[in-house]
Amino acid sequence: MPWILGSGSSEVSALPDPLLHVQNLRTYFFTYAGIVKAVDDISLDVSKGETLGVVGESGSGKTVTAQSILRIVPSPGKIVDGTIEFEGKSLMKLREKDMQRIRGKDIAYVPQDPTSTLDPVYRVGEQLSEVIMRHHVISRKDALAKATDLLRSVEIPDPEIRISQYPHELSGGTKQRIAIARALAGDPVLIIADEPTTALDVTIQAQILDLLKELKNRLNVAMILITHDMGIVADVCDRVTVLYAGQVCESGTVEQVFEKPKHPYTQALLTSVPNLALRKEKLSVIPGNVPNLIEPPSGCRFNPRCPYAQQICIDKVPELEPIGEGRSVHCHRWKELDLKSPVAS
């Protein structure tokens, strides 16, 4: 069992009022080509009412982390190690039946692609009341009334008409709003939004983000916002966890990370965000590609692409080190590097 020999437990500094506590999560995919270590020692925390941004490139393990929390990792994926605690109880130990009570009620999920997230054969109202009736003792009529209210709360015009329409009659933005309404249907305390704006065009993206912010403030619901867009993180999130190749690079509040990134990867990510103030001709890119997760690079996984890499980065896996003020960094050289933020004023 090689994963037991890994970097070991590294306590992320305690936060007030923890709602979700994920520690040393490892989710592997057992494919014919080999074991894909999609999530390899990821820890993160979300407190009540807080919005955590989870940032990373494609293949960094963002979505698999979210699926692991809900225990809906598709086959051949398996959670092989780690603890997931939600409101103090371990989700890993729950039976599937009890887990079904949590999905959609306590923890809701907003999927990435709104076009196919609604069942084409049912009216919108039926799909929303399905969730409401699944998690509440309520009559069909009241559930439909509640569905209408939900649509109104996600700012869909004419909700009375929308609930009797079929998904193919609706636009992408409306479908994503309905997906958000469905996530709200169980009165969740935590919403996991998996790139909720990626499949939408820019103006609709802005509307959906405004809606998420508004809901967060109004309902005081905690949120994990998965994205690859640092701009969205700066706009919506309170704290951020940066993932790279299935591991955490660093986490901290948005201000901390944007003002003073500690990990070279975070710095590189911030550099590649378009910035009008800098007025550069060309966008900078991070050289190289996301590593193969069947045989990841030895030591720190970012070392082949890291401009500051030294021998120790190849030899030794760094620890996720708490550095105070609720921050933690996964780098051997963070102290001596003393990185500068490309976006800090």
Partner 1 sequence: MTSDRKMAQTTLEQRPAGGHRVSQWALAWRRLKKNKVAIAGLGIVGIFIVMAAFDRLVALYPPKCILGVSPACQLDGRLHSNSPPGLAYPLGTDITGYDVYSEIVYGTRAAFLIGVGATGLTMLIAVVIGLAAGYFGGWMDNLLMRLTEVFLVIPFFLLLLVFLQVTIKLAPANTGSIWLVVFVIGAFSWPGAARIIRGEVLRVREFEFIAASRQIGASSYRILFRHLFPNVLHIIIVLATLQIAASILTEAAVSFLGFGAPGSNTWGQQMYNSANYVEQAWWGTLFPAVFVTLMVMGFNLLGNGLRDALDPRLRE
> Alpha-carbon distance 15 to 192, whole Å?
19
Where does residue 92 fall: left (phi above 0), alpha (psi -120 to 50 degrees), or beta otherwise?
alpha
Tell me how far, at minimum, the Cβ of 162 lies from partner 1, in Å. Answer: 7
Site string for partner 1, 48-87 (x = CB under 8 A): ----------------------x-x-xx------------
Tokens 């935590």 map to which residue? 190
> Alpha-carbon distance 182 to 214, whole Å?
16
Tell me how far, at minimum, the Cβ of 250 lies from partner 1, in Å. Answer: 29
The 10 Å Cβ neighbour count of residue 188 is: 22
> Alpha-carbon distance 62 to 196, whole Å?
13
Of positions 35, 48, 57, 134, contacts partner 1 by CB under 8 A: 134
Q: Is residue 3 at the binding interface for partner 1, with CB under 8 A as the rule?
A: no
Q: Is residue 242 at the binding interface for partner 1, with CB under 8 A as the rule?
A: no
Nearer to partner 1, 110 or 257 (CB): 110
Contact range with partner 1 by CB under 8 A, out of 28-36, 43-51, 107-115, 137-145: 107-115
Tokens 């309170």 map to which residue? 238
> Alpha-carbon distance 62 to 107, whole Å?
17
Tell me how far, at minimum, the Cβ of 315 lies from partner 1, in Å. Answer: 41
Nearer to partner 1, 105 or 260 (CB): 105
Site string for partner 1, 164-183 (x = CB under 8 A): xxx-xx---------x--x-
> Alpha-carbon distance 139 to 89, whole Å?
31
Contact range with partner 1 by CB under 8 A, out of 11-19, 48-56, 98-106, 260-268: 98-106
Of positions 61, 186, 196, 318, contacts partner 1 by CB under 8 A: 186
Alpha carbon separation from 174 to 130, 131, 283 (Å, rounded): 19, 18, 33
The 10 Å Cβ neighbour count of residue 192 is: 27
Beta bridge pairs of residue 21: 45, 85
Q: Is residue 108 at the binding interface for partner 1, with CB under 8 A as the rule?
A: yes
Q: Is residue 291 at the binding interface for partner 1, with CB under 8 A as the rule?
A: no
Nearest C-alpha neighbor of 253 from the set 265, 264, 263, 261: 261
Contact range with partner 1 by CB under 8 A, out of 77-85, 129-137, 219-227, 252-260: 129-137
> Alpha-carbon distance 216 to 225, whole Å?
11
Q: Is residue 196 at the binding interface for partner 1, with CB under 8 A as the rule?
A: no
Q: Is residue 152 at the binding interface for partner 1, with CB under 8 A as the rule?
A: no
Tell me how far, at minimum, the Cβ of 62 lies from partner 1, in Å. Answer: 16
Contact range with partner 1 by CB under 8 A, out of 143-151, 155-163, 236-244, 275-283: 155-163
Cβ atoms of 338 and 262 closer than 8 Å: no
Tell me how far, at minimum, the Cβ of 149 lies from partner 1, in Å. Answer: 17
Q: Quote helix, strand, coil % in the chain, to nearest 5.
A: 35, 25, 40
> Alpha-carbon distance 185 to 221, whole Å?
13
Nearest C-alpha neighbor of 265 from the set 167, 334, 181: 334
- Reduced to 3 states, what is the DSSP secondary structure of residue 224? strand
Q: Is residue 95 at the binding interface for partner 1, with CB under 8 A as the rule?
A: no
Of positions 162, 216, 327, 332, contacts partner 1 by CB under 8 A: 162
**35 DSSP assignment:** E
> Alpha-carbon distance 18 to 7, whole Å?
24
Q: Is residue 158 at the binding interface for partner 1, with CB under 8 A as the rule?
A: yes
Tell me how far, at minimum, the Cβ of 7 lies from partner 1, in Å. Answer: 31
Of positions 85, 87, 130, 155, contacts partner 1 by CB under 8 A: 130
- Which residues contribute to the site for partner 1 (CB under 8 A)? 70, 72, 74-75, 97, 100-105, 108-109, 111-113, 115-123, 130-131, 134-135, 158, 160-162, 164-166, 168-169, 179, 182, 185-186
